[in-house]
A = this chain, B = another copy of it.
Amino acid sequence: MKRCFIIKGNICYSESKSKLKIFENSYVVCEDGISRGVFREIPERYKDFEIYDYTDKLVVPGFVDLHLHAPQYTFRAVGMDLELLDWLNTYTFKEESKYSEEKYAEKAYDIFVEDLKNSETTRACVFATIHKDATKILMDKLEKTKLKTFVGKVNMDRNSPDSLTENTDSSINDTLDILEYSKTFDNVFPILTPRFVPSCSDELLERLGETGEKFSIAVQSHLDENFDEIKWVSELCPWSNSYADVYDKFNLLNDKSIMAHCVYLNDDEISLILKSNSYVAHCPESNANLASGIAPIKKYLDLGMNVGIGTDIAAGSSNSMLKAMGEAIKMSKLRWRLVDNDIAPLELEEIFYMATITGGSFFGKVGSFDSGYEFDAVVIDDEDIKSTMKFEVRDRIERAMYLHDKCKIASKFVSGEKII
């Protein structure tokens, strides 16, 4: 049974891509895990609900991290001197191989899960490793947090170190095993996770596409992150028109697909993403750290694409979605200045929408305090950002993005459950 309660505070959420709704020191009502909307005064019918009083603090819908790699959390913020393919070979694959040992996975995922629980993220789409058992460990731990997460056992059957190369059959069988295993969870959902085209044979992708269709399972992967990667895909799949075309041909692009990065989508690929209603996970810090580039997000938004935000641990250094949101704005300004000043920088309102409503929509009716939405909320305490000035709520949201490190998460609710 979900709880019924009211939160008092400075409530802020998206009305649209270009507008925030802001209610100073007002009340948002949760009934059986569902938002009943925001009120200036508590309506009579909710008078008996418990009140969490966060007067003067910021109350926002939770942020949705559409792309991050749980096993890479151990080496976040280290080894930032390489581009994607070298970075994978030098750091990532070495670390991910360790998750063949359950003991290691236990220890490492304890740290990852604890930190994610305490972050401003309420929901996330997470890559695990190829290892079935370690993936189950991660799922078990995440289930207990009451965060809502999609967790994917990664599929890799080519161009990977021996320790991370699966046989195609066992890759599929282990995936099916994970689908079965996740049936008992309330908070963790399985998601098909072909790492990216270079590490997945055509046969593997084809069978994953079939699996997805058969069981109606969501999909996450990488697309158009880096020039060398894109060139490699064109060599590996000479029959394809583009990188996105590979996923599309194998029925992996649909309205439950998340494609991370999309820095360099060409026009055909944009059409494929639009037609399929696939999600783009924009990972701004990662794209800078690996010198990948800056995706033209404003253009994608204006075309009506579903673009959310990802921290992309560990090519992104931090699990902070507030930080990722600030990075997205900063990067969009640099792109405007350095690459194409026909594409305007992103506005705070757009970023907020991407991190709440768009990301949330991947999970259902999530990301807003409008009546009928699942009740996710994060209470941000920004009192450590000292100033002589008084700021409006919108300014304080902006400040929280750039100075996320000075903000404390006072409380967090997911689907009506108070988890911190």
Contacts of A335 in B (CB 8 A): 338
Q: Which of B75, B291, B334, B348 contacts A389 (CB 8 A)?
A: B75
Tell me the chain A residues, 375-402 only, with Cβ under 8 Å from chain B.
385-389, 391, 395, 398-399, 401-402
Q: Please, which residue of chain B has its CB at the minimum distance from the CB of A387?
A: B74
Tell me the chain A residues, 289-306 only, with Cβ under 8 Å from chain B.
289-294
Q: Are A403 and B337 in contact (CB under 8 A)?
A: no
Q: Provided the pairs A293-B338, A330-B289, A348-B81 are in contact, do residues A111 and B388 lie with their beta carbons within 8 angstroms? A: yes
Q: Mark A95-135, 1 if CB is under 8 A from B, else 0.
A: 10000000010011001001100000000000000000000
A76 is an interface residue with CB less than 8 A from chain B: yes
Contacts of A403 in B (CB 8 A): 76-77, 317-318
What number of copies of this chain does the assembly contain?
2
Q: Please, which residue of chain B has its CB at the minimum distance from the CB of A391?
A: B78
| Range class of the A interface residue count | 35 or more
A65–chain B nearest beta-carbon distance, Å:
17
Contacts of A404 in B (CB 8 A): 405
Q: Are A74 and B317 in contact (CB under 8 A)?
A: no
A158 is an interface residue with CB less than 8 A from chain B: no
Q: Which of B107, B331, B339 contacts A388 (CB 8 A)?
A: B107
Residue positions of A touching B, CB distance < 8 A:
73-81, 95, 104, 107-108, 111, 114-115, 285, 288-294, 317-318, 326, 329-331, 333-339, 345, 347-348, 385-389, 391, 395, 398-399, 401-406
Q: List 9 A–B pairs whose Cβ atoms lie within 8 Å, in order of A's numbering.
A: A75-B387, A77-B403, A81-B347, A95-B389, A111-B386, A291-B334, A291-B336, A318-B405, A334-B338
